[in-house]
Chain A
Amino acid sequence: MTLAEAAHAAGTPAPPPQGVTMSGAINRALRDAMTADTDVVVFGEDVGTLGGVFRVTDGIARDFGQDRCFDTPLAEAGIVGFAVGMAMAGFRPVIEMQFDAFAYPAFEQIASHVAKMRNRTAGKVNLPIVIRIPFAGGIGGVEHHCDSSEAYYAHTPGLKVVTPATVQDAYTLLREAINDPDPVIFMEPKRLYWTKGSIESAVAAKTFESFGHAAVRREGTDVTLVAYGPSVDVAIQAASAATESGWSVEVVDLRTIVPFDDETVVASVRKTGRCVVVQEAQGFAGVGAEIAARVQERAFHSLHAPVLRVAGLDIPYPPPKLEHIHLPGVERVLDAIARLQWEDSPDVRFLSGSKDGAA
């Protein structure tokens, strides 16, 4: 007898359902999309019989048949190129790259064909392909399993780049991605696969808002934290902790990196006057740098301090026992918030000769 059954037998109500995991939400989105449209097909390495190494496609081959969900040879460029051809024949392929770094062999197919086909053919050939990529770290993965590769895709015109931070968004954004007439890189934060939430209202909604709408996850008045995917949770935790120092922190979850929601981000920064961008990826030339630049271009006169970035270190993703040093955590975010010129005095850390300076 389970605890719930025992509780029920004892006359007390069973505990409320804990909801669905993010991987379960993605599975449900795939199933619902496949039910809604018979042209939706799922394929990749191990996604068939096994149900994927993260079990995201669990049971789909069994329930929809091998025609709709199938294993391919182990060749990522081949998987993406095959999807290009199937899309040209009228299908809507949803393909899985097993891990972030294993998608690199497919980069030419993605950058030269997936991203450009509509443009090369003056709109005559569009490619409604979703490329699902489990990405980023925090799961103790060994090398080549934890890369944050979003900037490569976001830098490529013609690709939409989406990353959910909540269970409900995993469902909603994937449904929208599959409906989208353009190719979508759907980046799933691996460490959130096992988080739980409710998707009931999203499943019931049937319609999905278009891409390009960031969400304010927490309202605040003093600082805006901009984050996406795996970093949103870190930002929310930091925002909670910041209240102890008297800072009211707003958290904006981008949801889609491309298209980018300048409007929501800038509106938040105009309100708060301060901004920190949080990303797990290595910082140099990253998505966070783009966000910081955009905020300063658009809201300069509203800013009381430079936009700061909190990012991963500029190193190849470290071995598991060192990843906690690499990953931006709450403390690093709070340190950045503390540097937002609250006293309106210069930040001297980059001045040579100063005790904090690098020189």
Chain B
Amino acid sequence: MEADALTTDTSTSLPQTAATDRPFARGLMPAPVPVQFLDHLGRRVRVFNDEYPEPSSEQLVAAYSAMVIGRRFDIQATALAKQGRLAVYPSARGQEACQIASMLALSPDDWAFPTYRDSMALVTRGLDPVEVLTGPHGSAHCGYNPRAARTAPQCTPLATQLIHAVGFAFGEKRKGRPTVAMAFVGDGGTSEGDFHEALNFAAVFKAPVVFLVQNNKYAISVPLSKQTAAPSLGYKGIGYGIASEQVDGNDAMAVLAVLNKAVAHARSGQGPVLVEAHTYRLDAHTNADDATRYRDPEEVDDWLRRDPITRLEAWLRHEALMDEAFVASVVQKAEAFAADVRDRMSVDLAVDPMSLFENVFATPTPQLLEQRAMVEAELEAEEASR
């Protein structure tokens, strides 16, 4: 590659007239096109990124490693679902830049409020992948300790956990703790009423929340065009008084840069931020879904050419921030990670029938104790008849 080809200036002279006291150059307005640092070939570009410091080399290399491991984990989880080891798995393959950057932008004491499609992000956060997959495995609902992991349970009723992130972040602020909450939602989830209530509450209470909208273009089968008439989902923040941005969600450098700043903005007490990341769900909704019923393979191919991993890899190699040996070591780590997940998920996790009665209330009601005794007797009879 020619060195000159790597510096393409595509920024335009659009007016940037926002008030100077705003942390984001355009005030509440997102950029007219998604912020980009690297084009699809990994060439450094200037697309509305002047306001965003470039992420450090260390963060970029960490992002690369996490994306490779994250994708391998995701592929492994899909395989486990196809083998029947998991009841279901909603893949995030193709969304690695968003998944990884969302967590690398956070401090260890921050909290995440993820959806079911954010398992890769949780693994990046350092959660035990087996605990993350406990829900789809079927042995418990949430397999990890949210308090220890500083991560709320993965949420299935879409957008309903966003308002928890808002109340939580506000509560943390009231307690004098500098916690930021990263709240996850997809393009489909922005149609839910709770999304709007969460944005409004966040703005009114100046809650330190970053809303990350991963616009992966489909809500199961329904395309974005049937979901919204807005020019960008990033625009949905403006009406609530929330600083908003849109970013190329397959450009890890850009997502990191924008989320780094969004987290800092929230932490500094300036209120919430909404970020729309344009990305693509390469796999079907889950292993139980057939995406060929609603989209063309050409479309998928087109997005494969915008792959977030190869893009960042091209840049890091060009900058000599990593070499062949490093890439090989990351691949090796990813394989070891997947093998560990495979091995541990192939063992049936223990389930305790009596646990059903334990956490309905702090103390079981008399009625639950009666039902517990009934089940206990049933199990004993079953055992005796063996």
CB distance from B351 to the nearest CB of A (A): 12
From residue 74 to 97 of chain A, which have CB atoms closer than 8 A to chain B? Answer: 75, 77-78, 81-91
Residues in chain B near residue A163, CB distance under 8 A: none
A270 within 8 A of B: no
Do residues B175 and A263 form an inter-chain contact, with CB atoms below 8 A? Answer: no
**When chains A and B are docked, how far (Å) is the Cα of A158 from the Cα of B194?**
22
Q: How far is the CA of A180 from the CA of B363 in the complex (A)?
A: 10
Chain A residue total in the interface (Cβ 8 A)? 44
Contact flags B343-386 to A (C-beta < 8 A → 1, else 0): 00000000000010011111001110000000000000000000
B204 touches A88 (CB 8 A): no
Q: Which residues of B contact A67 (CB under 8 A)?
A: 174
Which residues 119-172 of B have a CB within 8 angstroms of A? 140-142, 145-148, 152-153, 157, 160-172
- Whether the pair B362, A84 counts as a contact (CB closer than 8 A) is no
Q: Evaluate contact between B163 and A260: CB separation under 8 angstroms.
A: no
Question: Could you say which residues of chain A place their CB within 8 Å of the CB of B160?
Answer: 77, 81, 108-109, 112-113
When distances are taken between beta carbons in the complex, the residues of chain B under 8 Å from A258 are 365
Given A85-B164, A85-B166, A125-B147 in contact, is the A118-B362 Cβ separation under 8 Å?
A: yes
Q: How far is the CA of A91 from the CA of B367 in the complex (A)?
A: 29
With A91-B171, A119-B141, A181-B362 in contact, is A77–B367 under 8 Å at CB? no
**In the bound complex, what is the Cα–Cα distance between A263 and B152 (angstroms)?**
39
The CA-CA distance from A259 to B363 in the complex, in Å, is 10
Bitwise interface map of A from 241 to 268 toward B, beta carbon under 8 Å scored 1, else 0: 0000000000000000011101100000
On whether A120 and B153 interact (CB within 8 A), knowing A85-B171, A89-B171, A259-B367, the answer reads: yes
> Among residues 181 to 215 in chain A, which have CB atoms less than 8 Å away from a CB atom of chain B?
181-182, 212
Which of B195-203, B279-287, B311-319 lies at the binding interface? Answer: B195-203
When the two chains form their complex, are residues B197 and A263 in contact, meaning their CB atoms are under 8 A apart? Answer: no
Residue A279 CB within 8 A of the other chain = no
| A194 smallest CB distance to B (angstroms) | 33
Chain A nearest CB: distance from B205 CB in Å?
8
Q: Which residues of B contact A77 (CB under 8 A)?
A: 160, 163, 193-194, 197
In chain A, residues 85-134, which have Cβ atoms closer than 8 Å to a Cβ of chain B?
A: 85-91, 105, 108-109, 112-113, 117-126
Q: From residue 51 to 91 of chain A, which have CB atoms closer than 8 A to chain B?
A: 67, 72-73, 75, 77-78, 81-91
Q: How far is the CB of B327 from chain A (nearest CB, A)?
A: 39
Which B residues between 84 and 134 are near A, CB-CB below 8 angstroms? none
Contact call B153/A73, Cβ cutoff below 8 A:
no
Among A82, A113, A124, the residue within 8 A (CB) of B170 is A82
CA distance A105 to B194 in the complex (A): 10
B358 touches A123 (CB 8 A): yes
A356 to B200, CA, bound (A): 58
Whether A259 lies near B197 (C-beta < 8 A) is: no
Please, what's the 1-or-0 string for A129-161, where 1 marks a CB less than 8 Å from any CB in chain B? 000000000000000000000000000011010
Chain A's closest residue to B181 (CB) is A85
Is the beta-carbon distance between A89 and B361 smaller than 8 angstroms? no
In the complex, how many angstroms separate the beta carbon of A299 from the nearest chain B beta carbon? 15
Given A86-B168, A262-B367, 12 new contacts (CB under 8 A) = A72-B204, A81-B197, A88-B167, A90-B171, A91-B171, A113-B157, A113-B160, A113-B164, A121-B145, A158-B360, A158-B361, A260-B366
Q: Which residues of A contact B (CB under 8 A)?
A: 67, 72-73, 75, 77-78, 81-91, 105, 108-109, 112-113, 117-126, 157-158, 160, 180-182, 212, 258-260, 262-263
